Amino acid sequence: MSQAPNTIFAPPDAQFGSPQPQRQGSNVLGIIGFILSTLGLITCCIPFVGFIGSIGLVLSLIALFRAPRGFAIAGTIIGIIATIFAVLWLVLFSLMGAAISASGGFMDFGKALMVVSQVEEQRARGGSYPADLTMLKEVPPEFRKDRNNIDFLYEVAPDGSSFTLKGAGPDATMGTTDDIEFTELFRKHNIQLQQSHTWPPPAPNAPTAPADPNAPTTPDSPAETPDKGPV
């Protein structure tokens, strides 16, 4: 007896040569853009470094034309936010850099900023500016001097409404043309300090005299007069 030949049955798709469905790949460019945008958002407070997010934004925008678009959309949103923050921080650091340069260096700028802040804080607490810098117990003595070890010149206006703080400048001599007026410098560069109370402080309300318990009282209206009936 002859045996039947072995027959291998292939799937219908394989018999007719139809293509198999392929798994959807990943959008590599979108992933890279998402990563760079996230790094830019994390480092946005570092000048120029934060603009990594702008590179991620560009890559994410290009990746939007490829599928899948999940990482590309997320990278685009994060990249926009990172770029905005990077620009704002760059503008802020530019202003601070100009103020530091005009104040004679970072150390003098930081010392003067601490002194001015404490002067404003003391006025906010007590209603008047301190008479001299020795009254600022929170500021160490070495912070009341510039890098040339010369005391800051602190003066309060006669009406007590304002004050000035000056440094000797590069020539290390107070009263010359290169003196640095820190208070004017801070106002010029819009460096916000603690807001002090209004000057002069409001006068307290006058105390009212206590009522005399023996004083006769007058009824406010006829309705309050007791009815005694017919006389």
The 10s digit of each residue's pLDDT in 26-64 is 889 999 999 999 998 998 877 778 789 899 999 999 999
Angle made by CA atoms 103, 106, 111, in degrees to the nearest 5: 80
Highest mean pLDDT among 7-21, 178-192, 203-217: 178-192
Q: Is the pLDDT of residue 189 over 90?
A: no
Does the pLDDT of residue 146 top 60, yes or no? yes
Element (H, E) at 153: strand 153-156
Give the chain's mean pLDDT: 74
Q: How much is the pLDDT for 170?
A: 72
Nearest to 29 by CA among 73, 59, 53, 74: 59
Query: Which residues lie across from 164 on neighbouring strands?
Result: 155
Q: Rg of the Cα trace of the chain? A: 38
Which pTM does this prediction carry? 0.42
Tokens of 48: 């120029």
Q: Which of 16-20, 44-48, 175-179 has the lowest mean pLDDT?
A: 16-20
